[in-house]
Amino acid sequence: MDNRTKKEIHIKKAGSYVLWARTEVKEELPIDIELGKVYYIRCGVSMGVFVGRPVLDLVENAIGKDEFSSIHLRKVDCVDIIATSDGRMIDCIIDGEDAEYIYYTFLENKKEV
């Protein structure tokens, strides 16, 4: 993630997950997801030997909600990523969703296709 950005992710399956980020080292954050619950993860960087080290923190909802809403993005920054079951990542803008489907606009180089 870039500085002063935010991302909203909708998980469709409850269970245990490991979120991670990597620079010179890999930082992991194990998390048990319950459907219908909201989680806020703060991503940051701390000092490392050669490059910054990732920092992932699960924060309280009141704090996370305030921090999340305080970040204002330009339209060009509002890109979502869908991870498919076969491991592909799709850059898109999520237009909506229901119980069965996610409706999105496919992007290539941050432009609609």
* pLDDT tens, residue by residue, 47-85: 877 788 889 999 999 999 998 888 776 555 556 777 778
Give the span between the Cα atoms of 110 and 78, in whole angstroms: 9
What is the token pair recorded at 97?
């969703």
Give the span between the Cα atoms of 91 and 79, in whole angstroms: 7
Q: Is the pLDDT of residue 19 over 60?
A: yes
Task: Tell me the β-bridge partners of 111.
Answer: 108
Higher pLDDT, 82 or 18: 18
Task: Name the pLDDT band for 3 (thresholds 50, 70, 90).
Answer: low
pTM over 0.85: no
Q: Which of 24-28, 74-78, 88-92 has the highest mean pLDDT?
A: 24-28
Give the span between the Cα atoms of 77 and 38, in whole angstroms: 22
Cβ count within 10 A of residue 54: 21
Q: Average pLDDT, stretch 28-43?
A: 93
Q: Average pLDDT, stretch 17-42?
A: 91
